[in-house]
Amino acid sequence: MCDYNPRRFVVHKPDLCVDLHCHSTASDGVLSPAELLARAAERGVTHLALTDHDTLAGLAEARQAAQDCGVHLINGIELSCQWRQHTIHVVGLDVRDDDAPFLARVTQQTENRWARARLIADRLERLKVPDLVDRATAQAGGSVPGRPHFAAALVEAGAVKSPAQAFKRHLGAGKPGDVRAFWPPLEDVVAWILEAGGVPVLAHPRKYKMTATRLRDLVRDFQEAGGQGLEVMTSGQSPADLSFLADLCEKRGLWASQGSDFHFPGAPWCELGQGMGQALRLPDRLEPVWRHFRAPVVQPGG
């Protein structure tokens, strides 16, 4: 938790506590946007970007809640895309949320997810589970279901004994329900974010389980496409990952970002304002991405 508490440290210069990656019920998070903002405020987060998967639907509620609890909200989104055979996530920070072409592309992206969900259900029709898309959607809390949600729905309907069995028989690699998501190329989503006035940031680079060489190729292609930021600190990475990414970020002259990728409360390894079990904080040698927002975020008094 960030240690700034305005009641305890009246003369203490308030520190920034910046978290630029998290999810609400508008995608696969468990807290509503308002609940998320309240939790961020409790945890001492001063600047939060809501970055739901392929949707801006949570932003209006988040903005109202941010005003109520005194947290500075930054518009955000996490867009899925394709690079070589990998699905890659690009966070768009400080995007304009009233940009008609961008909104149309985001709608298309959401529709891609629904089309895939319907196709998965079609492919599993022989299991004779009625209303499978609806059941999977319920498992996803009302947002677009992915394969884990279909697995849960199949368990609930008694078609399989466990999620593992659902994957082994019906949803895993090479099985009928293994429908590849249809995502646009990396360069396209980077261009969309730039056109909407935002900053494209390559999300959780260590999560793709790539070799260092391949990851450097990805970062090079991302940067050539106009990508500007690298998520250097996030949950679920090691100190070695952090130093590798910090070096890569500095060497490529990218702006550094940090975010918890918070989805739900109760996970000790992932909390708002934190990453790697400590307060989010970038190595001093890196250039923070938030200095490059349309309204730059600066250290108070600094």
Beta strands in the chain (DSSP E): 18-19, 47-50, 72-83, 86-93, 199-202, 229-233, 255-258, 274-275, 278-279
- Closer to Mn ion by Cβ: residue 21 or 43: 21
Least separation in angstroms between residue 88's CB and Mn ion is 9
Q: Which is nearer to Mn ion, 89 or 135 (CB)?
A: 89
What is the smallest separation between the CB atom of 89 and Mn ion, expressed in angstroms? 4
Q: Which is nearer to Mn ion, 93 or 160 (CB)?
A: 93
Distance of alpha carbon 78 from alpha carbon 242, whole angstroms: 21
Residue owning tokens 């709608």: 107
Q: Which residue has the tokens 């990475």?
A: 237
Minimum distance between the CB of residue 263 and Mn ion, rounded to whole angstroms?
6
CB 124 within 8 A of CB 116: no
Q: How far is the CB of 11 from Mn ion (least distance, A)?
A: 37
Min dist. Cβ of residue 4 to Mn ion (A): 25
Residue 27 CB, nearest distance to Mn ion (Å)?
6
CA distance 250 to 143: 37
Q: How far is the CB of 159 from Mn ion (least distance, A)?
A: 25
Length of the chain: 302
Instruction: Tell me the three-class secondary structure of 20-55, residue by residue.
Output: CCECCCCCCCCCCHHHHHHHHHHCCCCEEEECCECC
Report which DSSP code applies to 262.
Answer: B
Cα–Cα distance, 61 to 42 (Å, whole number):
18
Q: Which is nearer to Mn ion, 32 or 165 (CB)?
A: 32
- Nearest residue relative to Mn ion (C-beta): 89
User: CA–CA separation, 136 vs 264, rounded Å?
Assistant: 19
Residue 208 or 244: which CB sits closer to Mn ion?
208
Applying CB under 5 A, the residues found at the interface with Mn ion are 28, 78, 89, 203, 261
Distance CA 5, CA 9 (A): 6
Q: How far apart are the first and last CA of the chain?
A: 22
Instruction: Choose between 1 and 30: whose C-beta lies nearer to Mn ion.
Output: 30
Report the alpha-carbon distance of residue 259 to residue 167 in Å, rounded.
30
Q: Which is nearer to Mn ion, 91 or 121 (CB)?
A: 91
Amino acid, res. 88: I
